[in-house]
Amino acid sequence: MIVRVILVVFFSLLFGFAIGLSIGFFIFTLILKNSNVFGAKIARDDPRSSNLVIIAKEDRIQHRDDVFDYHITNGMRELLSNPGYHEMMSRSVKNPDNDQVTHI
Amino acid sequence: MATLCRNCGNPLVYDPETRRIVCDACGSSFAAEQIEAYGKAFEEGNAPRPVDPVTGEPVSSSAVQEFFECNVYTCSSCGGEIFLSGTEASTTCIYCGSPSVIFSRISKEKRPDFILPFQVTKQQATEIIRQRFSNGMFVPNEFKNLQVDSIRGIYIPYWLIDVYHAESAIVSGETGSGDSSHRHYYARTGRMKMNNLLVEASMELNDSSSRLLEPYDLRMLRPFDEEYMLGFYSDASDITFGELRRIADQRASDLFKWEVFKRINISSCRLEKSQSATLIDKDLKYALLPVWFVTTLYEGKPHTILVNGQTGKLVCAVPWNKKKFKGMVALVGSIIGILAALLFTIIGLIFTSGFAFGGFGVATVLTSMIPLIAPVLVITGAFSLIGFIFYKNVTRQIELTQAEDTFNFTKKRQG
Protein backbone atom coordinates (compact mmCIF):
# COMPACT_ATOMS: atom_id res chain seq x y z
CA MET A 1 0.00 0.00 0.00
CA ILE A 2 2.73 2.47 1.04
CA VAL A 3 4.87 1.49 -1.97
CA ARG A 4 1.89 2.15 -4.26
CA VAL A 5 1.29 5.58 -2.73
CA ILE A 6 5.00 6.49 -2.88
CA LEU A 7 5.24 5.43 -6.54
CA VAL A 8 2.04 7.27 -7.50
CA VAL A 9 3.19 10.43 -5.69
CA PHE A 10 6.66 10.16 -7.29
CA PHE A 11 5.27 9.89 -10.84
CA SER A 12 2.64 12.54 -10.15
CA LEU A 13 5.32 14.97 -9.03
CA LEU A 14 7.42 14.10 -12.11
CA PHE A 15 4.53 14.65 -14.53
CA GLY A 16 3.21 17.63 -12.57
CA PHE A 17 6.52 19.49 -12.68
CA ALA A 18 7.02 18.64 -16.37
CA ILE A 19 3.65 20.19 -17.16
CA GLY A 20 4.09 23.05 -14.69
CA LEU A 21 7.49 24.10 -16.02
CA SER A 22 6.42 23.83 -19.66
CA ILE A 23 3.32 25.96 -18.97
CA GLY A 24 5.44 28.41 -16.95
CA PHE A 25 7.97 28.63 -19.81
CA PHE A 26 5.15 29.23 -22.30
CA ILE A 27 3.50 31.94 -20.19
CA PHE A 28 6.70 33.85 -19.54
CA THR A 29 8.09 33.63 -23.07
CA LEU A 30 4.73 35.05 -24.21
CA ILE A 31 5.09 37.86 -21.63
CA LEU A 32 8.74 38.30 -22.66
CA LYS A 33 7.73 38.69 -26.30
CA ASN A 34 5.29 41.45 -25.39
CA SER A 35 7.57 42.99 -22.79
CA ASN A 36 10.91 43.25 -24.59
CA VAL A 37 10.07 43.34 -28.31
CA PHE A 38 8.69 46.60 -29.69
CA GLY A 39 7.28 47.27 -33.15
CA ALA A 40 8.11 43.85 -34.61
CA LYS A 41 5.03 43.73 -36.79
CA ILE A 42 5.78 44.53 -40.42
CA ALA A 43 3.21 46.83 -41.97
CA ARG A 44 1.81 45.02 -44.99
CA ASP A 45 1.62 46.98 -48.22
CA ASP A 46 -1.87 48.26 -48.68
CA PRO A 47 -3.69 45.76 -50.94
CA ARG A 48 -6.23 48.45 -51.91
CA SER A 49 -3.48 50.31 -53.74
CA SER A 50 -2.30 47.24 -55.65
CA ASN A 51 -5.24 47.06 -58.09
CA LEU A 52 -4.67 43.35 -58.65
CA VAL A 53 -6.35 42.06 -61.79
CA ILE A 54 -6.51 38.29 -62.19
CA ILE A 55 -6.48 37.60 -65.94
CA ALA A 56 -6.46 33.79 -65.86
CA LYS A 57 -7.39 31.22 -63.25
CA GLU A 58 -7.96 27.52 -63.08
CA ASP A 59 -8.99 25.53 -60.01
CA ARG A 60 -8.02 22.02 -58.94
CA ILE A 61 -5.37 21.41 -61.57
CA GLN A 62 -3.37 18.18 -61.58
CA HIS A 63 -0.36 17.91 -59.30
CA ARG A 64 2.20 17.40 -62.06
CA ASP A 65 5.26 19.51 -62.93
CA ASP A 66 4.42 19.65 -66.64
CA VAL A 67 0.88 20.91 -65.82
CA PHE A 68 2.32 23.56 -63.47
CA ASP A 69 4.84 24.67 -66.13
CA TYR A 70 2.13 24.80 -68.79
CA HIS A 71 -0.03 27.14 -66.71
CA ILE A 72 2.88 29.36 -65.67
CA THR A 73 4.33 29.63 -69.19
CA ASN A 74 0.95 30.38 -70.76
CA GLY A 75 0.10 32.87 -68.02
CA MET A 76 3.37 34.75 -68.40
CA ARG A 77 3.02 34.78 -72.22
CA GLU A 78 -0.41 36.34 -71.88
CA LEU A 79 0.84 38.91 -69.36
CA LEU A 80 3.86 39.93 -71.40
CA SER A 81 1.85 40.32 -74.60
CA ASN A 82 -0.56 42.69 -72.86
CA PRO A 83 -0.46 46.28 -74.28
CA GLY A 84 -0.30 47.64 -70.72
CA TYR A 85 2.93 45.74 -70.15
CA HIS A 86 4.48 47.16 -73.33
CA GLU A 87 3.46 50.67 -72.39
CA MET A 88 4.97 50.22 -68.93
CA MET A 89 8.10 48.67 -70.47
CA SER A 90 8.71 51.85 -72.46
CA ARG A 91 8.45 53.91 -69.25
CA SER A 92 10.49 51.62 -67.02
CA VAL A 93 14.03 52.00 -65.73
CA LYS A 94 16.58 50.02 -67.73
CA ASN A 95 19.76 51.02 -65.96
CA PRO A 96 22.40 48.37 -65.26
CA ASP A 97 22.17 46.70 -61.86
CA ASN A 98 25.43 48.24 -60.64
CA ASP A 99 24.39 51.83 -61.32
CA GLN A 100 23.47 53.91 -58.29
CA VAL A 101 19.83 54.98 -58.25
CA THR A 102 19.33 58.61 -59.20
CA HIS A 103 16.70 60.70 -60.90
CA ILE A 104 16.27 59.74 -64.56
CA MET B 1 24.20 77.71 -46.49
CA ALA B 2 24.22 79.51 -43.14
CA THR B 3 20.74 79.86 -41.67
CA LEU B 4 21.00 82.31 -38.83
CA CYS B 5 18.30 84.10 -36.92
CA ARG B 6 17.78 87.49 -38.49
CA ASN B 7 17.02 88.93 -35.04
CA CYS B 8 19.99 87.71 -33.03
CA GLY B 9 22.34 85.87 -35.39
CA ASN B 10 22.18 82.48 -33.62
CA PRO B 11 21.61 79.19 -35.53
CA LEU B 12 17.99 78.27 -36.33
CA VAL B 13 16.54 74.76 -35.85
CA TYR B 14 13.34 73.04 -37.02
CA ASP B 15 10.82 72.45 -34.22
CA PRO B 16 8.59 69.40 -34.95
CA GLU B 17 6.01 70.47 -32.35
CA THR B 18 5.21 73.89 -33.82
CA ARG B 19 6.41 72.86 -37.31
CA ARG B 20 8.30 76.14 -37.56
CA ILE B 21 11.93 77.19 -37.72
CA VAL B 22 12.87 78.55 -34.29
CA CYS B 23 15.78 80.28 -32.63
CA ASP B 24 16.57 78.72 -29.26
CA ALA B 25 18.54 81.79 -28.21
CA CYS B 26 15.98 84.60 -28.67
CA GLY B 27 12.78 82.59 -29.18
CA SER B 28 12.04 83.94 -32.67
CA SER B 29 9.91 81.69 -34.85
CA PHE B 30 9.59 81.62 -38.65
CA ALA B 31 7.64 79.61 -41.22
CA ALA B 32 9.87 77.50 -43.50
CA GLU B 33 8.55 79.40 -46.54
CA GLN B 34 9.51 82.71 -44.90
CA ILE B 35 13.11 81.58 -44.43
CA GLU B 36 13.25 80.26 -47.99
CA ALA B 37 11.85 83.50 -49.45
CA TYR B 38 14.26 85.54 -47.35
CA GLY B 39 17.18 83.38 -48.49
CA LYS B 40 16.14 83.69 -52.16
CA ALA B 41 15.83 87.46 -51.92
CA PHE B 42 19.28 87.61 -50.35
CA GLU B 43 20.77 85.39 -53.08
CA GLU B 44 19.17 87.39 -55.89
CA GLY B 45 20.52 90.62 -54.50
CA ASN B 46 23.95 89.63 -53.22
CA ALA B 47 25.00 86.11 -53.95
CA PRO B 48 27.39 85.53 -56.89
CA ARG B 49 26.00 83.35 -59.72
CA PRO B 50 27.00 79.73 -59.30
CA VAL B 51 29.67 78.45 -61.70
CA ASP B 52 30.60 74.95 -62.85
CA PRO B 53 33.65 73.88 -60.79
CA VAL B 54 35.27 72.30 -63.89
CA THR B 55 34.57 74.72 -66.74
CA GLY B 56 34.09 77.90 -64.74
CA GLU B 57 30.98 78.67 -66.81
CA PRO B 58 27.82 79.91 -65.10
CA VAL B 59 25.36 77.07 -64.58
CA SER B 60 21.58 77.18 -64.84
CA SER B 61 19.51 77.40 -61.69
CA SER B 62 17.82 74.06 -62.51
CA ALA B 63 21.21 72.30 -62.39
CA VAL B 64 21.94 73.88 -59.03
CA GLN B 65 18.60 72.57 -57.73
CA GLU B 66 19.66 68.96 -58.34
CA PHE B 67 21.99 69.12 -55.36
CA PHE B 68 22.08 70.63 -51.92
CA GLU B 69 25.06 71.28 -49.74
CA CYS B 70 25.70 69.82 -46.33
CA ASN B 71 28.64 69.98 -43.97
CA VAL B 72 30.47 66.75 -43.19
CA TYR B 73 32.16 66.45 -39.81
CA THR B 74 34.57 63.67 -38.88
CA CYS B 75 35.51 62.39 -35.46
CA SER B 76 39.30 62.12 -35.43
CA SER B 77 39.06 59.61 -32.60
CA CYS B 78 36.71 56.96 -34.01
CA GLY B 79 36.34 58.06 -37.64
CA GLY B 80 32.55 58.55 -37.53
CA GLU B 81 31.09 60.92 -40.12
CA ILE B 82 28.26 63.39 -39.58
CA PHE B 83 26.17 65.05 -42.28
CA LEU B 84 24.73 68.33 -41.09
CA SER B 85 22.71 70.97 -42.80
CA GLY B 86 22.72 74.65 -41.92
CA THR B 87 24.92 76.11 -39.21
CA GLU B 88 24.48 73.26 -36.74
CA ALA B 89 27.97 72.44 -35.50
CA SER B 90 29.09 69.22 -33.95
CA THR B 91 31.41 69.53 -30.98
CA THR B 92 31.26 66.15 -29.26
CA CYS B 93 31.23 62.64 -30.61
CA ILE B 94 28.40 60.92 -28.80
CA TYR B 95 29.57 57.42 -29.66
CA CYS B 96 33.08 57.70 -28.23
CA GLY B 97 32.58 60.93 -26.26
CA SER B 98 35.60 62.50 -27.88
CA PRO B 99 35.53 66.30 -28.31
CA SER B 100 37.82 65.95 -31.33
CA VAL B 101 35.07 66.33 -33.92
CA ILE B 102 36.32 68.47 -36.77
CA PHE B 103 34.78 69.96 -39.88
CA SER B 104 35.79 67.75 -42.79
CA ARG B 105 34.27 69.07 -46.00
CA ILE B 106 31.21 70.45 -47.73
CA SER B 107 29.50 67.67 -49.59
CA LYS B 108 27.03 68.05 -52.46
CA GLU B 109 24.25 65.54 -52.10
CA LYS B 110 21.36 64.72 -54.43
CA ARG B 111 18.53 67.10 -53.69
CA PRO B 112 15.44 65.14 -52.58
CA ASP B 113 12.04 65.86 -54.13
CA PHE B 114 10.19 65.54 -50.86
CA ILE B 115 10.73 65.59 -47.13
CA LEU B 116 8.52 64.34 -44.33
CA PRO B 117 9.27 66.74 -41.48
CA PHE B 118 9.68 65.39 -37.95
CA GLN B 119 6.35 65.44 -36.13
CA VAL B 120 7.55 63.69 -32.98
CA THR B 121 9.79 65.93 -30.90
CA LYS B 122 12.93 64.77 -29.13
CA GLN B 123 11.10 64.98 -25.78
CA GLN B 124 8.16 62.95 -27.12
CA ALA B 125 10.49 60.29 -28.56
CA THR B 126 12.34 60.10 -25.23
CA GLU B 127 9.04 59.79 -23.37
CA ILE B 128 7.85 57.00 -25.71
CA ILE B 129 11.04 55.01 -25.05
CA ARG B 130 10.91 55.57 -21.26
CA GLN B 131 7.21 54.73 -21.01
CA ARG B 132 7.40 51.55 -23.09
CA PHE B 133 10.53 50.33 -21.30
CA SER B 134 9.10 51.04 -17.84
CA ASN B 135 6.07 48.86 -18.67
CA GLY B 136 8.28 45.93 -19.74
CA MET B 137 8.26 43.19 -17.10
CA PHE B 138 11.67 41.78 -18.06
CA VAL B 139 13.35 44.95 -19.34
CA PRO B 140 16.63 45.35 -17.37
CA ASN B 141 16.98 48.40 -15.13
CA GLU B 142 19.84 49.67 -17.32
CA PHE B 143 17.28 50.18 -20.11
CA LYS B 144 14.54 51.46 -17.80
CA ASN B 145 16.95 54.13 -16.55
CA LEU B 146 18.47 54.71 -19.99
CA GLN B 147 20.11 58.08 -20.50
CA VAL B 148 18.63 59.15 -23.81
CA ASP B 149 20.61 62.37 -24.10
CA SER B 150 22.33 60.85 -27.09
CA ILE B 151 19.12 60.71 -29.14
CA ARG B 152 19.64 61.78 -32.76
CA GLY B 153 17.11 62.77 -35.38
CA ILE B 154 18.20 61.43 -38.75
CA TYR B 155 16.45 61.84 -42.09
CA ILE B 156 16.61 58.49 -43.90
CA PRO B 157 16.65 58.49 -47.71
CA TYR B 158 13.86 56.61 -49.48
CA TRP B 159 12.82 56.16 -53.11
CA LEU B 160 9.11 56.28 -53.85
CA ILE B 161 8.54 54.10 -56.87
CA ASP B 162 5.62 53.04 -59.04
CA VAL B 163 5.79 49.34 -59.76
CA TYR B 164 4.09 47.23 -62.43
CA HIS B 165 4.08 43.58 -61.45
CA ALA B 166 3.03 40.58 -63.56
CA GLU B 167 2.99 37.12 -61.99
CA SER B 168 1.83 33.62 -62.81
CA ALA B 169 1.66 31.23 -59.86
CA ILE B 170 0.57 27.79 -58.71
CA VAL B 171 -0.92 27.81 -55.23
CA SER B 172 -2.09 24.87 -53.14
CA GLY B 173 -4.45 24.56 -50.21
CA GLU B 174 -6.20 21.90 -48.13
CA THR B 175 -9.83 20.93 -47.87
CA GLY B 176 -11.27 18.62 -45.22
CA SER B 177 -9.43 17.55 -42.09
CA GLY B 178 -7.60 14.57 -40.67
CA ASP B 179 -7.63 11.49 -42.90
CA SER B 180 -10.11 13.06 -45.31
CA SER B 181 -7.94 16.12 -45.96
CA HIS B 182 -6.98 16.76 -49.55
CA ARG B 183 -4.48 19.19 -51.11
CA HIS B 184 -5.71 20.96 -54.23
CA TYR B 185 -3.76 23.03 -56.73
CA TYR B 186 -4.80 26.33 -58.31
CA ALA B 187 -3.29 28.34 -61.18
CA ARG B 188 -3.52 32.14 -61.00
CA THR B 189 -2.16 34.77 -63.38
CA GLY B 190 -2.47 38.46 -62.66
CA ARG B 191 -1.00 41.91 -62.88
CA MET B 192 -0.98 44.83 -60.50
CA LYS B 193 0.29 48.36 -60.15
CA MET B 194 1.61 49.68 -56.88
CA ASN B 195 2.04 53.41 -56.46
CA ASN B 196 4.51 55.14 -54.16
CA LEU B 197 6.11 51.96 -52.87
CA LEU B 198 8.71 52.95 -50.27
CA VAL B 199 12.22 51.58 -50.75
CA GLU B 200 14.79 52.57 -48.17
CA ALA B 201 17.84 53.87 -50.05
CA SER B 202 20.75 53.59 -47.66
CA MET B 203 22.85 50.45 -48.07
CA GLU B 204 24.28 50.88 -44.59
CA LEU B 205 21.01 50.82 -42.66
CA ASN B 206 19.66 47.36 -41.99
CA ASP B 207 16.70 46.71 -44.34
CA SER B 208 14.74 44.76 -41.73
CA SER B 209 14.96 47.63 -39.25
CA SER B 210 13.85 50.26 -41.74
CA ARG B 211 10.97 48.04 -42.94
CA LEU B 212 9.68 47.77 -39.37
CA LEU B 213 9.56 51.57 -39.06
CA GLU B 214 6.81 51.72 -41.68
CA PRO B 215 4.07 52.75 -42.24
CA TYR B 216 4.52 56.47 -42.86
CA ASP B 217 1.62 58.71 -43.79
CA LEU B 218 2.88 59.95 -47.16
CA ARG B 219 0.08 62.51 -47.42
CA MET B 220 2.20 64.64 -45.07
CA LEU B 221 5.12 64.79 -47.53
CA ARG B 222 6.31 68.32 -48.31
CA PRO B 223 8.41 69.59 -51.22
CA PHE B 224 12.02 69.40 -50.07
CA ASP B 225 13.20 72.38 -48.13
CA GLU B 226 16.57 72.46 -46.38
CA GLU B 227 15.06 74.42 -43.50
CA TYR B 228 13.30 71.26 -42.27
CA MET B 229 16.74 69.70 -41.80
CA LEU B 230 17.99 72.33 -39.38
CA GLY B 231 19.07 70.59 -36.20
CA PHE B 232 18.87 67.11 -37.72
CA TYR B 233 21.24 64.74 -39.48
CA SER B 234 20.70 63.14 -42.83
CA ASP B 235 21.94 60.42 -45.08
CA ALA B 236 22.14 60.16 -48.86
CA SER B 237 20.96 57.42 -51.22
CA ASP B 238 23.60 54.89 -52.22
CA ILE B 239 21.35 52.03 -53.33
CA THR B 240 21.92 50.42 -56.76
CA PHE B 241 19.29 49.71 -59.42
CA GLY B 242 19.86 45.97 -58.89
CA GLU B 243 18.96 46.27 -55.22
CA LEU B 244 15.98 48.52 -56.01
CA ARG B 245 14.64 45.90 -58.45
CA ARG B 246 15.18 43.08 -55.95
CA ILE B 247 13.27 44.89 -53.19
CA ALA B 248 10.45 45.99 -55.54
CA ASP B 249 10.04 42.44 -56.90
CA GLN B 250 10.01 40.92 -53.41
CA ARG B 251 7.47 43.41 -52.04
CA ALA B 252 5.21 43.06 -55.08
CA SER B 253 5.45 39.24 -55.03
CA ASP B 254 4.60 39.15 -51.31
CA LEU B 255 1.52 41.28 -51.89
CA PHE B 256 0.47 39.22 -54.96
CA LYS B 257 0.81 35.99 -52.97
CA TRP B 258 -1.14 37.40 -50.00
CA GLU B 259 -3.95 38.68 -52.23
CA VAL B 260 -4.20 35.37 -54.13
CA PHE B 261 -4.30 33.37 -50.86
CA LYS B 262 -7.05 35.66 -49.59
CA ARG B 263 -9.11 35.27 -52.76
CA ILE B 264 -8.75 31.46 -52.93
CA ASN B 265 -9.72 31.38 -49.25
CA ILE B 266 -8.67 27.83 -48.40
CA SER B 267 -6.72 26.51 -45.40
CA SER B 268 -2.94 25.82 -45.32
CA CYS B 269 -2.33 27.84 -48.48
CA ARG B 270 1.17 27.78 -49.88
CA LEU B 271 2.95 28.91 -53.01
CA GLU B 272 4.15 25.97 -55.10
CA LYS B 273 5.72 27.67 -58.08
CA SER B 274 5.73 31.11 -59.65
CA GLN B 275 7.28 33.32 -62.30
CA SER B 276 7.14 37.10 -62.30
CA ALA B 277 8.25 40.24 -64.07
CA THR B 278 8.52 43.57 -62.24
CA LEU B 279 8.95 46.93 -63.96
CA ILE B 280 9.79 50.18 -62.18
CA ASP B 281 8.51 53.46 -63.59
CA LYS B 282 11.24 55.93 -64.57
CA ASP B 283 9.52 58.65 -62.57
CA LEU B 284 11.38 57.97 -59.34
CA LYS B 285 10.76 60.27 -56.42
CA TYR B 286 13.43 60.83 -53.79
CA ALA B 287 12.30 61.60 -50.23
CA LEU B 288 13.76 61.97 -46.75
CA LEU B 289 11.79 60.40 -43.90
CA PRO B 290 12.36 61.07 -40.17
CA VAL B 291 13.70 58.60 -37.59
CA TRP B 292 14.99 59.09 -34.03
CA PHE B 293 18.00 56.93 -33.14
CA VAL B 294 19.34 56.03 -29.70
CA THR B 295 22.49 53.93 -29.45
CA THR B 296 23.56 52.36 -26.19
CA LEU B 297 26.00 49.71 -25.00
CA TYR B 298 24.68 46.89 -22.82
CA GLU B 299 26.92 44.04 -21.65
CA GLY B 300 29.51 45.23 -24.16
CA LYS B 301 27.15 44.98 -27.12
CA PRO B 302 25.75 47.95 -29.02
CA HIS B 303 21.95 48.30 -29.22
CA THR B 304 20.12 50.71 -31.51
CA ILE B 305 16.63 51.89 -30.59
CA LEU B 306 14.58 53.48 -33.39
CA VAL B 307 11.50 55.69 -33.19
CA ASN B 308 9.51 56.66 -36.28
CA GLY B 309 9.77 60.46 -36.38
CA GLN B 310 6.24 60.81 -37.73
CA THR B 311 4.13 58.19 -35.94
CA GLY B 312 6.24 57.52 -32.83
CA LYS B 313 6.37 53.77 -33.53
CA LEU B 314 9.13 52.26 -31.37
CA VAL B 315 11.27 49.59 -33.07
CA CYS B 316 13.72 47.55 -31.00
CA ALA B 317 14.10 44.46 -28.85
CA VAL B 318 16.07 44.66 -25.64
CA PRO B 319 17.81 41.86 -23.72
CA TRP B 320 15.84 40.49 -20.82
CA ASN B 321 16.60 40.24 -17.13
CA LYS B 322 17.59 36.56 -17.14
CA LYS B 323 17.59 36.09 -13.34
CA LYS B 324 14.05 37.44 -13.07
CA PHE B 325 12.86 35.38 -16.06
CA LYS B 326 14.27 32.11 -14.69
CA GLY B 327 12.91 32.91 -11.21
CA MET B 328 9.40 33.61 -12.51
CA VAL B 329 9.37 30.44 -14.68
CA ALA B 330 10.56 28.35 -11.69
CA LEU B 331 8.08 29.93 -9.25
CA VAL B 332 4.97 29.77 -11.43
CA GLY B 333 6.06 26.41 -12.91
CA SER B 334 6.43 24.97 -9.38
CA ILE B 335 3.01 26.23 -8.27
CA ILE B 336 1.33 24.75 -11.35
CA GLY B 337 3.50 21.63 -10.91
CA ILE B 338 2.40 21.08 -7.30
CA LEU B 339 -1.28 21.57 -8.17
CA ALA B 340 -0.93 19.20 -11.15
CA ALA B 341 0.94 16.68 -8.97
CA LEU B 342 -1.89 16.73 -6.40
CA LEU B 343 -4.43 16.13 -9.13
CA PHE B 344 -2.33 13.34 -10.66
CA THR B 345 -1.85 11.73 -7.24
CA ILE B 346 -5.60 11.51 -6.71
CA ILE B 347 -6.20 10.22 -10.24
CA GLY B 348 -3.21 7.86 -9.93
CA LEU B 349 -4.43 6.38 -6.68
CA ILE B 350 -7.87 5.77 -8.21
CA PHE B 351 -6.31 4.18 -11.31
CA THR B 352 -4.01 1.90 -9.32
CA SER B 353 -6.61 0.86 -6.75
CA GLY B 354 -7.79 -1.94 -9.05
CA PHE B 355 -4.29 -3.45 -8.95
CA ALA B 356 -4.42 -4.14 -5.21
CA PHE B 357 -3.73 -7.81 -5.73
CA GLY B 358 -1.37 -7.45 -8.69
CA GLY B 359 1.65 -6.07 -6.80
CA PHE B 360 2.84 -2.48 -6.71
CA GLY B 361 6.05 -2.45 -8.78
CA VAL B 362 7.14 0.48 -10.94
CA ALA B 363 5.89 -1.24 -14.09
CA THR B 364 2.46 -1.92 -12.56
CA VAL B 365 1.98 1.65 -11.37
CA LEU B 366 3.22 3.07 -14.68
CA THR B 367 0.89 0.74 -16.63
CA SER B 368 -2.04 1.85 -14.55
CA MET B 369 -1.13 5.49 -15.12
CA ILE B 370 -0.90 5.16 -18.93
CA PRO B 371 -4.12 7.17 -19.51
CA LEU B 372 -2.35 10.05 -17.71
CA ILE B 373 1.02 9.81 -19.48
CA ALA B 374 -0.19 10.50 -23.03
CA PRO B 375 -1.97 13.82 -22.24
CA VAL B 376 0.97 14.86 -20.04
CA LEU B 377 3.42 14.32 -22.90
CA VAL B 378 1.19 16.12 -25.42
CA ILE B 379 0.60 19.14 -23.14
CA THR B 380 4.27 19.35 -22.10
CA GLY B 381 5.46 19.08 -25.70
CA ALA B 382 2.97 21.60 -27.07
CA PHE B 383 3.66 24.28 -24.44
CA SER B 384 7.43 23.76 -24.65
CA LEU B 385 7.37 24.02 -28.46
CA ILE B 386 5.26 27.19 -28.55
CA GLY B 387 7.40 28.68 -25.77
CA PHE B 388 10.54 27.86 -27.74
CA ILE B 389 9.12 29.55 -30.87
CA PHE B 390 8.41 32.70 -28.82
CA TYR B 391 11.90 32.50 -27.34
CA LYS B 392 13.55 32.24 -30.79
CA ASN B 393 11.43 35.13 -32.00
CA VAL B 394 12.64 37.34 -29.15
CA THR B 395 16.31 36.42 -29.66
CA ARG B 396 16.03 37.06 -33.42
CA GLN B 397 14.57 40.52 -32.78
CA ILE B 398 17.30 41.29 -30.25
CA GLU B 399 19.94 40.32 -32.81
CA LEU B 400 18.35 42.83 -35.17
CA THR B 401 18.62 45.57 -32.53
CA GLN B 402 22.24 44.56 -32.01
CA ALA B 403 22.94 44.47 -35.77
CA GLU B 404 26.32 46.02 -36.45
CA ASP B 405 25.16 47.70 -39.67
CA THR B 406 22.40 49.64 -37.91
CA PHE B 407 24.84 50.61 -35.17
CA ASN B 408 27.48 51.67 -37.68
CA PHE B 409 24.87 53.64 -39.58
CA THR B 410 24.11 55.67 -36.45
CA LYS B 411 27.77 55.91 -35.53
CA LYS B 412 28.59 57.52 -38.87
CA ARG B 413 25.93 60.13 -38.27
CA GLN B 414 26.63 60.89 -34.66
CA GLY B 415 26.86 64.46 -33.47
pLDDT of residue B99: 52
Is the pLDDT higher at B148 or at A38? A38
Whether B377 has a pLDDT exceeding 80, the answer reads yes
CA distance B158 to chain A (A): 11
Nearest Cβ partner for B189 among A12, A25, A55: A55
- Beta carbons of B344 and A12 less than 8 Å apart: yes
Which chain A residues touch B328 with a CB distance below 8 Å? 24, 28
**A64 torsion bin: left (phi>0), alpha (psi -120 to 50), beta (else):** beta
Which chain A residues touch B193 with a CB distance below 8 Å? 50-51
Give the mean pLDDT of B215-230.
Answer: 87
Q: What is the mean pLDDT of chain B?
A: 79
pLDDT of residue B94: 44
With residues binned 3-state (H G I as helix, E B as strand, rest as coil), the percentages for chain A, rounded to 5, are: 60, 10, 30
Domain extents in chain B: 12-115, 122-319+398-412
Residue B6, helix vs strand vs coil = coil
Which chain A residues touch B393 with a CB distance below 8 Å? 33, 37, 40
Q: Which amino acid is at B30?
A: F
Nearest Cβ partner for A22 among B256, B313, B380: B380
CA distance A87 to chain B (A): 11
Q: How would DSSP label each residue in B156-170?
A: EEEEEEEEEEEEEEE
CA atoms within 13 A on the CB side of B263: 19
Is the pLDDT higher at B40 or at B268? B268
Is the ipTM here above 0.90?
Answer: no
- Beta carbons of A26 and B383 less than 8 Å apart: yes
Whether A85 has a pLDDT exceeding 90, the answer reads no
User: Nearest residue of A to residue B66 by CA position?
Assistant: A103
Whether B118 has a pLDDT exceeding 90, the answer reads yes
Q: How would DSSP label each residue in B238-266?
A: --BHHHHHHHHHHHHHHHHHHHHHHHH--
- Beta carbons of A60 and B330 less than 8 Å apart: no
Q: Does A64 touch chain B (CB under 8 A)?
A: no
